[in-house]
Structure 1
């Protein structure tokens, strides 16, 4: 039996909303979406709320990282990525992986072949 990955998505704008929709179709198979973070009213935020997925602030996500395997950072904001890395380091969390947009694009290509994920952020790497 495949191990279930517990994931959080930070950023539910144009990229995150589409990504969340695709992951919800996989919910309960190999992954469980345990939390999201978004401060603006977006379609992804409404989708998460309608599914009962906890909507947390970034510090709350960091507090729960012991129970999160992968955090998808889809904000495109370098300070958010730094806050995630620093927060994990401060708690000596060596379990949770921060997946940047490049990993989301790879996963997307497997989930929705032939369909492009929106390209709205500059490539910021890790």
Structure 2
């Protein structure tokens, strides 16, 4: 018997949609409780078709420990920080936030196919991180 794990997926762009599709196709014990996506993407449409709740960040936080793991597929360090802060403010130390690297690890157990990176390379991820730090005033 497979243990069920309740998950949420934040960000249903190109990569988040592929991840959602793979989880839905797999009998892997991952139950998608909700997704977070503000735009009308194919991933959001798929979630709605499957009856999966589409929530905003506050809606996710309200679910509380009903979500074991949030897979952050947004590619946004600022969103990840905001989500982490909201969880801390709600005293939820149970729900884990998994990075795209962890999602790739999970993907490797679910599929033989290649999951493209949110960033085209580690170097692009580093540049994106530096740009976000500059926008936040951390780097000058």
* TM-score of the two chains, using structure 2 as the length reference: 0.81
User: Does 2:91 align with 1:92?
Assistant: yes
1:65 CA displacement: 2.5
Could you say what the CA RMSD is over the residues aligned between the two structures, in angstroms? 1.4
1:94 CA displacement: 1.4
- The runs of 5 or more residues in structure 2 that have no matched partner are 120-124, 130-140
Which is richer in helix?
2
Map 1:4-43 → 2, pairs under 5 A: 4-26=4-26, 29-43=28-42
- Aligned residue number for residue 45 of structure 1: 44
1:2 CA displacement: 3.1
**Deviation per CA, 1:71-96, whole angstroms, max 9, x where unpaired?**
00000001110011101111111110
Equivalent residues, number: 122
User: Does 2:60 align with 1:67?
Assistant: no
Structure with bigger gyration radius: 2
- Aligned residue number for residue 112 of structure 1: 111
Moved over 6 A (4+): none
**Deviation per CA, 1:83-117, whole angstroms, max 9, x where unpaired?**
1110111111111000010000111111112x211
* TM-score of the two chains, using structure 1 as the length reference: 0.90
- The runs of 5 or more residues in structure 1 that have no matched partner are none
